[in-house]
Structure 1
Protein backbone atom coordinates (compact mmCIF):
# COMPACT_ATOMS: atom_id res chain seq x y z
CA UNK A 1 0.00 0.00 0.00
CA UNK A 2 1.32 3.37 -0.92
CA UNK A 3 0.97 6.04 1.75
CA UNK A 4 -0.15 8.56 -0.84
CA UNK A 5 -2.89 6.25 -2.07
CA UNK A 6 -4.10 5.58 1.49
CA UNK A 7 -4.05 9.28 2.30
CA UNK A 8 -6.18 10.02 -0.76
CA UNK A 9 -8.69 7.36 0.31
CA UNK A 10 -8.83 8.84 3.82
CA UNK A 11 -9.44 12.34 2.48
CA UNK A 12 -12.25 11.02 0.26
CA UNK A 13 -13.71 8.97 3.12
CA UNK A 14 -13.79 12.08 5.31
CA UNK A 15 -15.92 13.66 2.57
CA UNK A 16 -18.31 10.69 3.03
CA UNK A 17 -17.25 8.83 -0.10
CA UNK A 18 -18.56 5.33 0.64
CA UNK A 19 -16.41 3.67 -2.01
CA UNK A 20 -13.22 5.17 -0.59
CA UNK A 21 -14.18 4.13 2.92
CA UNK A 22 -14.98 0.60 1.74
CA UNK A 23 -11.60 0.38 0.02
CA UNK A 24 -9.84 1.57 3.19
CA UNK A 25 -11.60 -1.05 5.29
CA UNK A 26 -10.92 -3.79 2.75
CA UNK A 27 -7.21 -2.96 2.78
CA UNK A 28 -7.11 -3.31 6.56
CA UNK A 29 -9.53 -6.23 6.99
CA UNK A 30 -6.95 -8.98 7.45
CA UNK A 31 -5.01 -6.87 9.96
CA UNK A 32 -8.21 -6.16 11.89
CA UNK A 33 -9.07 -9.85 11.91
CA UNK A 34 -5.68 -10.86 13.34
CA UNK A 35 -5.77 -8.24 16.10
CA UNK A 36 -9.34 -9.09 17.10
CA UNK A 37 -8.60 -12.82 17.05
CA UNK A 38 -5.57 -12.30 19.30
CA UNK A 39 -7.87 -10.71 21.88
CA UNK A 40 -11.12 -12.63 21.52
CA UNK A 41 -10.00 -16.07 20.27
CA UNK A 42 -13.48 -16.65 18.83
CA UNK A 43 -14.61 -16.09 15.22
CA UNK A 44 -18.15 -15.02 16.11
CA UNK A 45 -16.97 -12.36 18.55
CA UNK A 46 -14.28 -11.27 16.09
CA UNK A 47 -16.95 -10.72 13.43
CA UNK A 48 -19.03 -8.67 15.88
CA UNK A 49 -16.03 -6.54 16.88
CA UNK A 50 -15.05 -5.88 13.27
CA UNK A 51 -18.61 -5.00 12.29
CA UNK A 52 -18.91 -2.58 15.21
CA UNK A 53 -15.52 -1.08 14.37
CA UNK A 54 -16.49 -0.44 10.77
CA UNK A 55 -19.66 1.30 11.90
CA UNK A 56 -17.80 3.36 14.51
CA UNK A 57 -15.13 4.39 12.02
CA UNK A 58 -17.68 5.45 9.42
CA UNK A 59 -19.55 7.54 11.97
CA UNK A 60 -16.38 9.13 13.39
CA UNK A 61 -14.03 9.34 10.40
CA UNK A 62 -14.17 13.13 10.58
CA UNK A 63 -12.65 13.01 14.10
CA UNK A 64 -9.40 11.53 12.75
CA UNK A 65 -7.00 14.44 13.11
CA UNK A 66 -3.92 13.10 11.37
CA UNK A 67 -4.44 10.88 8.34
CA UNK A 68 -1.09 9.16 8.81
CA UNK A 69 -2.44 7.61 12.02
CA UNK A 70 -5.48 6.02 10.38
CA UNK A 71 -4.32 2.44 11.01
CA UNK A 72 -3.47 3.23 14.64
CA UNK A 73 -6.84 4.94 15.09
CA UNK A 74 -8.68 2.04 13.48
CA UNK A 75 -6.81 -0.51 15.60
CA UNK A 76 -7.55 1.40 18.81
CA UNK A 77 -11.27 1.47 18.02
CA UNK A 78 -11.17 -2.24 17.20
CA UNK A 79 -9.40 -3.10 20.43
CA UNK A 80 -11.86 -1.04 22.47
CA UNK A 81 -14.72 -2.91 20.78
CA UNK A 82 -13.05 -6.24 21.56
CA UNK A 83 -12.68 -5.28 25.21
CA UNK A 84 -16.32 -4.12 25.27
CA UNK A 85 -17.37 -7.57 24.06
CA UNK A 86 -15.36 -9.18 26.85
CA UNK A 87 -16.72 -6.75 29.46
CA UNK A 88 -20.30 -7.26 28.35
CA UNK A 89 -19.94 -10.93 29.11
CA UNK A 90 -20.37 -12.20 25.60
CA UNK A 91 -19.00 -15.69 25.29
CA UNK A 92 -15.27 -15.87 25.01
CA UNK A 93 -14.24 -19.26 23.74
CA UNK A 94 -12.09 -21.48 25.88
CA UNK A 95 -8.85 -22.50 24.22
CA UNK A 96 -10.08 -26.06 23.64
CA UNK A 97 -13.25 -24.72 21.96
CA UNK A 98 -11.36 -22.38 19.65
CA UNK A 99 -12.04 -23.38 16.07
CA UNK A 100 -9.58 -22.78 13.32
CA UNK A 101 -10.31 -19.34 11.82
CA UNK A 102 -12.30 -19.37 8.60
CA UNK A 103 -10.67 -16.22 7.24
CA UNK A 104 -7.55 -16.90 5.20
CA UNK A 105 -4.66 -16.71 7.58
CA UNK A 106 -1.04 -17.40 6.76
CA UNK A 107 0.04 -18.30 10.31
CA UNK A 108 0.77 -21.94 10.84
CA UNK A 109 -1.29 -24.03 13.23
CA UNK A 110 1.57 -24.65 15.65
CA UNK A 111 2.21 -20.92 16.05
CA UNK A 112 -1.50 -20.29 16.62
CA UNK A 113 -1.48 -22.94 19.30
CA UNK A 114 1.55 -21.35 20.96
CA UNK A 115 -0.01 -17.88 20.81
CA UNK A 116 -3.23 -19.19 22.32
CA UNK A 117 -1.22 -20.29 25.37
CA UNK A 118 0.03 -16.76 26.01
CA UNK A 119 -1.75 -14.34 28.29
CA UNK A 120 -3.65 -11.71 26.32
CA UNK A 121 -1.34 -8.88 27.41
CA UNK A 122 1.58 -10.63 25.70
CA UNK A 123 -0.34 -12.08 22.75
CA UNK A 124 -1.76 -8.71 21.64
CA UNK A 125 1.63 -7.00 21.71
CA UNK A 126 3.29 -9.84 19.79
CA UNK A 127 0.58 -9.77 17.12
CA UNK A 128 0.78 -5.98 16.77
CA UNK A 129 4.58 -6.01 16.60
CA UNK A 130 5.28 -9.03 14.40
CA UNK A 131 2.17 -9.40 12.24
CA UNK A 132 0.94 -5.84 11.98
CA UNK A 133 4.34 -4.16 11.85
CA UNK A 134 3.64 -1.60 14.56
CA UNK A 135 6.61 0.01 16.25
CA UNK A 136 7.04 0.00 20.03
CA UNK A 137 5.91 3.65 20.13
CA UNK A 138 2.81 2.94 18.03
CA UNK A 139 1.84 0.00 20.25
CA UNK A 140 2.42 2.22 23.27
CA UNK A 141 -0.04 4.78 21.89
CA UNK A 142 -2.65 2.23 20.85
CA UNK A 143 -2.58 0.38 24.16
CA UNK A 144 -1.98 3.52 26.22
CA UNK A 145 0.99 1.94 27.95
CA UNK A 146 4.48 3.28 28.56
CA UNK A 147 6.95 2.21 25.85
CA UNK A 148 9.05 0.38 28.44
CA UNK A 149 6.02 -1.70 29.46
CA UNK A 150 5.47 -2.64 25.81
CA UNK A 151 9.14 -3.63 25.49
CA UNK A 152 8.96 -5.71 28.66
CA UNK A 153 5.78 -7.49 27.59
CA UNK A 154 7.21 -8.16 24.15
CA UNK A 155 10.34 -9.65 25.72
CA UNK A 156 8.35 -11.76 28.19
CA UNK A 157 5.98 -12.89 25.45
CA UNK A 158 8.92 -14.05 23.34
CA UNK A 159 10.39 -15.85 26.34
CA UNK A 160 7.09 -17.63 27.00
CA UNK A 161 6.83 -18.64 23.34
CA UNK A 162 10.38 -20.00 23.48
CA UNK A 163 9.51 -22.01 26.62
CA UNK A 164 6.39 -23.34 24.90
CA UNK A 165 8.48 -24.56 21.97
CA UNK A 166 11.00 -26.17 24.34
CA UNK A 167 8.19 -28.09 26.06
CA UNK A 168 6.57 -29.16 22.77
CA UNK A 169 9.82 -30.46 21.30
Structure 2
Protein backbone atom coordinates (compact mmCIF):
# COMPACT_ATOMS: atom_id res chain seq x y z
CA UNK A 1 0.00 0.00 0.00
CA UNK A 2 2.88 2.39 0.71
CA UNK A 3 4.02 2.02 -2.90
CA UNK A 4 0.55 3.05 -4.13
CA UNK A 5 0.60 6.03 -1.77
CA UNK A 6 4.00 7.07 -3.06
CA UNK A 7 2.87 6.81 -6.68
CA UNK A 8 -0.36 8.68 -5.91
CA UNK A 9 1.62 11.46 -4.21
CA UNK A 10 3.58 11.79 -7.44
CA UNK A 11 0.33 12.44 -9.30
CA UNK A 12 -0.43 8.96 -10.66
CA UNK A 13 -4.25 8.81 -10.91
CA UNK A 14 -4.26 5.04 -11.53
CA UNK A 15 -2.34 4.42 -8.31
CA UNK A 16 -4.73 6.69 -6.41
CA UNK A 17 -7.72 4.85 -7.89
CA UNK A 18 -6.26 1.49 -6.86
CA UNK A 19 -5.54 2.85 -3.38
CA UNK A 20 -9.10 4.09 -2.94
CA UNK A 21 -10.58 0.87 -4.30
CA UNK A 22 -8.56 -1.09 -1.76
CA UNK A 23 -10.12 1.02 1.02
CA UNK A 24 -13.69 1.13 -0.29
CA UNK A 25 -15.07 -1.62 1.95
CA UNK A 26 -13.44 -0.08 5.03
CA UNK A 27 -14.86 3.33 4.15
CA UNK A 28 -18.35 1.89 3.63
CA UNK A 29 -18.34 0.10 7.00
CA UNK A 30 -17.11 3.18 8.84
CA UNK A 31 -19.63 5.48 7.15
CA UNK A 32 -22.42 2.95 7.69
CA UNK A 33 -21.77 3.02 11.43
CA UNK A 34 -22.51 6.76 11.51
CA UNK A 35 -25.01 7.22 8.67
CA UNK A 36 -28.02 5.04 7.95
CA UNK A 37 -28.83 6.22 4.46
CA UNK A 38 -26.98 4.75 1.45
CA UNK A 39 -27.12 8.06 -0.41
CA UNK A 40 -25.49 9.88 2.52
CA UNK A 41 -22.87 7.13 2.77
CA UNK A 42 -22.06 7.50 -0.92
CA UNK A 43 -21.80 11.28 -0.53
CA UNK A 44 -19.46 10.96 2.44
CA UNK A 45 -17.25 8.45 0.61
CA UNK A 46 -17.07 10.54 -2.57
CA UNK A 47 -16.26 13.69 -0.59
CA UNK A 48 -13.57 11.77 1.28
CA UNK A 49 -12.01 10.53 -1.95
CA UNK A 50 -11.91 14.07 -3.30
CA UNK A 51 -10.29 15.46 -0.14
CA UNK A 52 -7.77 12.61 -0.09
CA UNK A 53 -6.80 13.36 -3.69
CA UNK A 54 -6.45 17.08 -3.02
CA UNK A 55 -4.59 16.78 0.28
CA UNK A 56 -2.53 13.61 -0.15
CA UNK A 57 0.64 15.70 -0.16
CA UNK A 58 -0.19 16.77 3.42
CA UNK A 59 -0.07 13.18 4.71
CA UNK A 60 3.11 13.06 6.80
CA UNK A 61 3.66 9.31 6.97
CA UNK A 62 2.31 6.78 4.48
CA UNK A 63 1.76 4.16 7.18
CA UNK A 64 -0.94 6.36 8.72
CA UNK A 65 -2.90 6.68 5.48
CA UNK A 66 -5.85 4.57 6.64
CA UNK A 67 -6.13 6.46 9.94
CA UNK A 68 -5.90 9.79 8.10
CA UNK A 69 -8.49 8.75 5.51
CA UNK A 70 -10.89 7.41 8.17
CA UNK A 71 -10.68 10.66 10.11
CA UNK A 72 -11.56 12.61 6.96
CA UNK A 73 -14.46 10.22 6.31
CA UNK A 74 -15.87 10.57 9.83
CA UNK A 75 -15.63 14.35 9.56
CA UNK A 76 -17.59 14.19 6.29
CA UNK A 77 -20.19 11.95 7.96
CA UNK A 78 -20.53 14.43 10.81
CA UNK A 79 -20.92 17.27 8.29
CA UNK A 80 -23.79 15.38 6.69
CA UNK A 81 -25.43 14.78 10.08
CA UNK A 82 -25.15 18.49 10.92
CA UNK A 83 -26.71 19.46 7.60
CA UNK A 84 -29.49 16.94 8.13
CA UNK A 85 -30.34 18.48 11.51
CA UNK A 86 -30.63 21.90 9.88
CA UNK A 87 -33.03 20.68 7.21
CA UNK A 88 -36.78 20.98 7.61
CA UNK A 89 -38.31 17.71 6.44
CA UNK A 90 -41.51 17.63 4.48
CA UNK A 91 -43.78 14.63 4.70
CA UNK A 92 -42.16 12.17 2.36
CA UNK A 93 -42.87 8.56 1.65
CA UNK A 94 -39.84 6.67 0.41
CA UNK A 95 -40.19 5.10 -3.01
CA UNK A 96 -38.52 1.90 -1.90
CA UNK A 97 -38.02 0.55 1.58
CA UNK A 98 -34.54 0.92 3.04
CA UNK A 99 -33.28 -2.66 3.21
CA UNK A 100 -29.80 -3.48 4.44
CA UNK A 101 -28.23 -6.72 3.34
CA UNK A 102 -24.79 -5.60 4.50
CA UNK A 103 -24.73 -7.39 7.85
CA UNK A 104 -25.44 -11.09 7.96
CA UNK A 105 -26.04 -11.11 11.70
CA UNK A 106 -29.06 -8.90 12.28
CA UNK A 107 -28.91 -9.29 16.06
CA UNK A 108 -25.34 -7.96 16.11
CA UNK A 109 -26.37 -5.06 13.88
CA UNK A 110 -29.44 -4.31 15.99
CA UNK A 111 -27.38 -4.39 19.19
CA UNK A 112 -24.65 -2.22 17.66
CA UNK A 113 -27.18 0.31 16.40
CA UNK A 114 -28.82 0.54 19.82
CA UNK A 115 -25.57 1.78 21.39
CA UNK A 116 -25.09 5.49 21.93
CA UNK A 117 -23.21 7.15 19.04
CA UNK A 118 -19.92 7.59 20.94
CA UNK A 119 -19.84 3.94 22.04
CA UNK A 120 -21.00 2.56 18.68
CA UNK A 121 -18.32 4.45 16.78
CA UNK A 122 -15.49 3.29 19.05
CA UNK A 123 -16.73 -0.33 19.07
CA UNK A 124 -17.09 -0.33 15.28
CA UNK A 125 -13.64 1.17 14.69
CA UNK A 126 -12.06 -1.32 17.10
CA UNK A 127 -13.85 -4.57 16.26
CA UNK A 128 -15.02 -4.13 12.68
CA UNK A 129 -12.29 -1.90 11.27
CA UNK A 130 -9.48 -3.32 13.39
CA UNK A 131 -7.98 -0.02 14.56
CA UNK A 132 -5.90 0.10 17.74
CA UNK A 133 -7.05 2.32 20.60
CA UNK A 134 -4.21 4.76 19.86
CA UNK A 135 -5.35 5.04 16.22
CA UNK A 136 -8.98 5.54 17.27
CA UNK A 137 -7.77 8.28 19.60
CA UNK A 138 -6.15 10.03 16.65
CA UNK A 139 -9.14 9.53 14.35
CA UNK A 140 -11.68 10.88 16.83
CA UNK A 141 -9.29 13.41 18.40
CA UNK A 142 -10.01 12.24 21.94
CA UNK A 143 -7.67 10.91 24.64
CA UNK A 144 -6.74 7.24 24.45
CA UNK A 145 -8.13 6.69 27.95
CA UNK A 146 -11.51 7.95 26.74
CA UNK A 147 -11.36 5.47 23.86
CA UNK A 148 -10.64 2.61 26.27
CA UNK A 149 -13.46 3.61 28.64
CA UNK A 150 -15.96 4.00 25.79
CA UNK A 151 -14.86 0.62 24.45
CA UNK A 152 -15.39 -0.98 27.87
CA UNK A 153 -18.80 0.64 28.33
CA UNK A 154 -19.78 -0.29 24.79
CA UNK A 155 -18.81 -3.92 25.48
CA UNK A 156 -20.88 -3.92 28.68
CA UNK A 157 -23.91 -2.52 26.89
CA UNK A 158 -23.52 -4.99 24.02
CA UNK A 159 -23.18 -7.90 26.43
CA UNK A 160 -26.33 -6.79 28.22
CA UNK A 161 -28.27 -6.33 25.00
CA UNK A 162 -27.15 -9.63 23.49
CA UNK A 163 -27.82 -11.48 26.76
CA UNK A 164 -31.38 -10.12 26.78
CA UNK A 165 -31.85 -11.47 23.25
CA UNK A 166 -30.67 -14.94 24.33
CA UNK A 167 -32.91 -14.98 27.40
CA UNK A 168 -36.04 -13.83 25.52
TM exceeds 0.5? yes
Q: Is the CA contact (8 Å cut-off) linking 2:4 and 2:19 kept in structure 1?
A: yes
Please give the alpha-carbon distance, in whole angstroms, between the structure 1 residues aligned to 2:103 and 2:161: 20
Q: So what's the TM-score if we normalise by structure 1?
A: 0.87
The correspondence of residues 82-121 of structure 1 with structure 2, limited to 5 A, is 82-89=77-84, 99-101=98-100, 105=102, 107-121=104-118
- Runs of 5+ in structure 2 lacking a partner? 88-93
Provide Cα deviations, 1:111-152, integer angstroms capped at 9, x if missing partner: 111111111101111111011111010001111111110000
- Runs of 5+ in structure 1 lacking a partner? 1-5, 92-96
Which range moves more in the overlay, 107-116 or 25-34?
107-116
TM-aligned CA deviation for residue 101 of structure 1 = 3.3
Provide Cα deviations, 1:20-78, integer angstroms capped at 9, x if missing partner: 00111111111101110101122111111001101111111111111110000000000
Q: Which protein has the larger Cα radius of gyration, Structure 1 or Structure 2?
A: 2
Please give the alpha-carbon distance, in whole angstroms, between the structure 2 residues aligned to 1:100 and 1:108: 14
RMSD: 1.7
Alignment of 1:38 onto 2:37:
no
Q: Report the 3-state secondary structure (helix = DSSP H, G, I; strand = E; otherwise coil) of the residue aligned with 1:134.
A: coil
Equivalent of residue 140 in structure 1, options 123, 137, 142? 137
Alignment length, in residue pairs? 157
Q: Report the 3-state secondary structure (helix = DSSP H, G, I; strand = E; otherwise coil) of the residue aligned with 2:84.
A: coil
Please give the alpha-carbon distance, in whole angstroms, between the structure 1 residues aligned to 2:11 and 2:123: 34
Moved segments of 4+, more than 4 Å: none
Please give the alpha-carbon distance, in whole angstroms, between the structure 2 residues aligned to 1:30 and 1:154: 23
TM-aligned CA deviation for residue 156 of structure 1 = 0.5
Please give the alpha-carbon distance, in whole angstroms, between the structure 2 residues aligned to 1:23 and 1:101: 27
Distance 1:133 1:112, change over 3 A: same
